[in-house]
């Protein structure tokens, strides 16, 4: 039997076992808990990767803005926000251990968390693109960067606000359970 067929059969068995397991309450709870943990970690890791990239790109932007003290001050402020936010997210990259087990009973908060996660992902994509576009403009010799800098700061402020909201919801889970 070709290797591809064996792999397909094995994958089919895993999904069959998982589907059957979902009918067993203990297994379903365990599986859902692990999925929540994986999703939480993935969102945090995505934020860390985006912020690390933005931090690197801000160095290029900083060099380009060195001649203008007003712009340099804005770049330094934004860079510091990125750095502080990155440290905050990176120190909790695996989330809160008790949250994953306690998330079953609070459906409203779960919906709020999903909404915040969606906003975080959208804004990470937007931040990456906006910072990359600004770096590209600088590489092409354009130094009118004040408007894109303001946009980067707005996006970053939204990210921080949504992340803080997410953390508040997660901590509420821990208090109520």
pLDDT tens digits, one per residue of 14-44:
555 555 555 554 444 445 666 777 777 888 8
The range of the structural domain enclosing residue 153 comes to 44-176
Task: Provide the mean pLDDT of the chain.
Answer: 77
82 inside domain: yes
Tell me: the pLDDT tens digits for 85-135? 999 888 876 655 555 555 555 567 777 888 888 888 899 999 999 999 999
24 inside domain: no
Is the pTM higher than 0.75? The answer reads no
Position 7 pLDDT exceeds 80: no
Name 44's Cβ contacts closer than 8 Å, sequence gap at least 6: 89, 92, 93, 94, 95
**pLDDT band with cut points at 50, 70 and 90 for residue 157:** very high
Torsion angle in degrees (nearest 10) through CA of 101, 105, 111, 115: -30
16 inside domain: no
Q: How far apart are CA 108 and CA 105, in angstroms?
A: 9
Count the neighbouring beta carbons within 10 Å of the beta carbon of residue 156: 20
Alpha helices by DSSP H, the chain: 3-21, 25-64, 69-91, 97-102, 107-139, 146-176
119 inside domain: yes
92 inside domain: yes
Number of domains forming the structure of the chain: 1
């Amino acid at each position: 039997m070709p290797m591809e067929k064996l792999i397909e059969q094995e994958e089919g068995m895993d999904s069959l076992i998982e589907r059957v397991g979902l009918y067993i309450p203990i297994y379903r709870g365990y599986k859902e808990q692990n999925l929540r943990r994986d999703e939480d970690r993935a969102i945090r890791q995505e934020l860390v990767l985006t912020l690390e990239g933005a931090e690197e790109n801000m160095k290029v932007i900083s060099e380009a803005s060195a001649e203008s003290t007003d712009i340099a001050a804005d770049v330094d402020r934004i860079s510091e926000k990125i750095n502080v936010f990155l440290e905050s997210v990176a120190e909790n990259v695996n989330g809160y251990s008790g949250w994953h087990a306690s998330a079953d009973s609070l459906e409203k908060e779960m919906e709020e968390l999903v909404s915040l996660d969606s906003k975080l992902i959208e804004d990470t994509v937007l931040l990456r693109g906006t910072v990359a576009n600004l770096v590209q403009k600088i590489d092409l010799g354009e130094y009118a960067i004040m408007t894109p800098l303001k946009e980067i700061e707005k996006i970053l402020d939204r990210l921080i606000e949504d992340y803080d909201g997410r953390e508040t919801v997660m901590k509420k889970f821990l208090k109520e359970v």
